[in-house]
Chain A
Amino acid sequence: MRTLIFSTVAPYLTSLMVVFSIFVLLRGHNEPGGGFIGGLIAASAFAIYGIACGVSPVRRALYFHPMGLAGFGLLVGTLAGVLSVFFGVPFMTGLWAYVPLFGDTVALSTVLMFDIGVYFVVVGSITSIALALEERPSD
């Protein structure tokens, strides 16, 4: 499927989709979206890039092994749960902090941190499967 049009458009499409996935991830708590959907979008972005331009450019662009990203996500998700231990509340209790930034207030929470962890697990796992399947012995 390495047509000229597809492989020219794919990098732009991929970057747009990745940005969109982060947008979906961050808006998730109040509007449709979230880590799982965001992760799926990013994973399909990388899968498309791989189909269009081959696997090695994707691996170079990702820099880390996708499974490493998934592991990182699981770690972040776990830490988000464990943090509550230091505040004397049960595991995985949401903790919120409101940080003033540029005159506005930004809500930070362990819930968001956990959602980011979900995002990375989904991106990492599915991208590694997709890339492994896209790889040809000749690559």
Chain B
Amino acid sequence: MDSVTPSTTFLVLLLPFFAALFAPLLTRVFKHNAAWILALVPAVMVWHFAGFLGEIADSEVVTGGYRWIPAFNVNFSWYLDGLSLTFALLICGIGTLIVLYSGGYLKGHEHLGRFFSFILMFMGSMLGLVVSDSFLMFFVFWELTSITSFLLIGFDHKREASRRAALQALVVTGGGGLFLLAGLLMIWNITGISEMSLLLRSGDILVNSPFYIAVFVLVLGGAFTKSAQFPLHFWLPNAMEAPTPVSAYLHSATMVKAGVYLLMRLNPVLGDTVAWETVLPIFGGTTLIVGTLLAIRQTDLKLMLAYTTVSSLGLLVMLTGFGSEKAVSAAVMYLVAHSLFKGALFMVAGIIDHEAGTRDVTRLGGLMSVMPITFGAAIASAISMAGLPPFFGFLAKEEIYYGLAHPGFWPVLLTVVAIVGNGLMFVIGFAVALKPFLGPKKPELQHAHEGPVLLWLGPATLAVFSLLTALFSGVSHRFITNPMSSAVEGEPLNVTISLIPHIGLPLLLSAVTIGFGIIAYRNVDRLRAAMANLLAAIGWGPDQGFDQFIRGLVRGSFHLTRLTQPGRLDLYMKATFILVAVCIIVPMVYFDELPAFPQWPSDPPFYELIIMAIAAIGLLSVLYAENRLTAIVSLGIQGFAVALLFMLFGAPDLSFTQFMVETLSVVILALVMTRLRLTPTDRRPMGRTILDLSIAVACGIGFVLLLLSVTQLPFDSTLSEFFTRYSLSIAHGANIVNVILVDFRGTDTWGEIAVVMVAGLAILSLIRIRARSNHAIASNDPSEEEGR
């Protein structure tokens, strides 16, 4: 059953963008305390979406929307089911905490207002993405998240590393966005459906389509870039150049999960195929292992967390593609658990950086006594990350092993991958949460102290949620896990897992994971050294690959430009006119549509003959002109003769315009010629004269043939009758030509005058460039650019 509540939800979707507009002003007045006011916005949004929890838990869906472009069946419509509602709550809930945290973290920053603005815009885009029903709206919001994350990663735009990271993220996720667009359009084309809600009811149309693999690859291209799957994971760790609130929000809880969201959303219609259940686990599993191994290598708290985010995304992709019902509910639970603990841990890393002045784990220690609240939040989140009771991460991990542990080569392999990955994440989690707090206090950390409430409120709240969702697992399953897993699976699922011990294979596998984790944790320094040596031995990574790719692209475009735009005007003109002649003559000969030879008019009046003779004389004198100026003026003679002919045949407007155009072209051509400082006479060698002559003759013959065949066709008078009949009666004008220009086809003319003006501006700037420097205009030759 669908219930429709359009207006409030629409306003809620617009609210963050509206708030972004006012954020700079509020920040100017209230400084960092504006965070308290701005946080009300996502808080209101949480409250709004929480109102749907009851309906969604009863397996209803909420839809609404407005018609956008009815002619193309494009709507601005939203769709809330278990999947999108959970995402919406995570985005707004964690968003509230992040806004508060940003106020504390960037207190006193000169661009704090701008930062609030960006983060609210991102929140709006991400929210729009997960609630979108129509494909177009989904894609627009998907790209908006890429653009706003570009702004956020490059927030510290004076540092080259931030700019590079921002550009890299934009190139990778924006490129993926193109794949997604193509994929969505193909789905639209195959099914005729442009809305998620209808697509989910379309059954097996996509799976049985011959284009399934193409759609599959395109959708994966979008999802894997956004969710940083190996080997496209490199942009995510680099994005740690962003201020920590950004990493905590975008790169743990929200944006990077957009790809996973896409896969989960399309799982009912694209999943359950061999390709889906092979490719997703392979990429996901590889990403999981590579991510954790790279995380071990790091000593920077944020980078350690970033690489485990990569591996967690890998785990989510692997579970989504595994195919069993339990795996789906495991993916859902792990996604929620990960958002809670990873968001908190990132914020903890930020607090440590903020208060102790460093994020390097080897230079930190003994902060427990001075930062008790932060330590509490950190340790709780690390326990959830490690998958230990009594936190939600434990439930998720149990469910993972329930989902994966089946007989057979493939499930056993993936189970081993999951154990290794989870064990290594256990190590990183505790390395981040314990190392900075335990041990002797380093002397340079004497001034470290607990952060203000704005800073610790976020991680503490998230840690409490990690605990509560596990303690009251029945409630979490009813409102979050069950509706969301049912939406991903496409049929009702019921999750029952709780903190009450349940002896069985999953518990055993958990014990194995923990044992492996403890052993690895005690040898973490040795592991780190080993990984460092291994990476040094490989010496190349996708990150360098990205740079090489960009360099290659730039060099390639240089060469292409040099090939096609050598900067020699005569070559351009030759190419243009040869193409014109070929385009006119070849089809006419090929399709045998040459016009019949025209009949000589029986008795032409003598004045027409005289005018034609004048035109011919004008042309002859062009050919025999001594210098260029004479040639230009003689060309004008021919133009004037044609204008006279127009006049004789009853087209005064046309003739009038022709006179003016001829006059002005003669004047302007003459002016250009005097500026170019050319030799007064034509000194082309014989060979080139003959070549140019044949091109000119070919073009001339082509146009003659074209005009002849046009006039030999029967004349369709529908349009001219229409204009004659309605010009005066509808448009109140007797001059049909003018009425067509300014009224019937006014919008065309409007576009044309814009073109006239832009062309004028372009010509003006070309003249100016030449006037200012004595260089030739072609000085932007790529080879010179490179040599510089």
User: Using a CB–CB distance below 8 Å, which chain A residues touch chain B?
Assistant: 28-37, 40-41, 43-44, 47-48, 51, 67, 70-71, 73-74, 77-78, 81, 91-92, 94, 96, 107, 109, 111, 114-115, 117-118, 121-122, 124-126, 128-130, 132-135, 137
Contacts and interface: CB of A to CB of B under 8 A. Distances in A.
B480 to A, nearest CB: 47
B746 A31 contact: no
Given A36-B657, A126-B760, 14 more contacts: A29-B732, A32-B735, A73-B757, A74-B757, A91-B747, A92-B750, A94-B743, A107-B732, A111-B746, A118-B749, A122-B753, A125-B760, A132-B767, A132-B771
B750 A78 contact: yes
A94 B753 contact: no
Interface string B736-747: 011101110011
Interface string B654-665: 001100110110
Contacts of B746: 81, 92, 94, 111, 114
A34 B16 CA distance: 50
18 contacts: A32-B735, A32-B737, A33-B656, A34-B737, A34-B742, A37-B660, A40-B657, A67-B757, A67-B760, A70-B757, A121-B756, A122-B753, A122-B756, A125-B761, A126-B664, A129-B764, A130-B667, A132-B768
A120 to B, nearest CB: 9
Contact of B771 (A41, A44, A128, A135): A135
> What's the dominant secondary structure at chain B's contact region?
helix
Interface of B: 652-653, 656-657, 660-661, 663-664, 667-668, 671-672, 675, 731-735, 737-739, 741-743, 746-747, 749-750, 753-754, 756-757, 759-761, 763-764, 767-768, 771
B739 A29 contact: yes
Contacts of A47: 664, 667-668
Contacts of A32: 652-653, 656, 735, 737
Contacts of A74: 753-754, 757
Contact of A30 (B657, B675, B733): B733
Contacts of A28: 735, 738
B760 A129 contact: yes
A13 B46 CA distance: 74
A129 to B, nearest CB: 5
Q: Among the interface residues A29, A33, A41, A114, which one has the most CB atoms of the partner chain B within 10 A?
A: A29
A28 B771 CA distance: 39
Contacts of B753: 73-74, 77, 117-118, 121-122
A43 B664 contact: yes
Nearest to B765: A132
Given A121-B757, A133-B672, A135-B771, A37 B735 contact: no
Contacts of A40: 657, 660-661, 664
A55 to B, nearest CB: 11
A36 B768 contact: no
B650 to A, nearest CB: 11
Q: Among the interface residues A81, A96, A132, which one has the most CB atoms of the partner chain B within 10 A?
A: A132
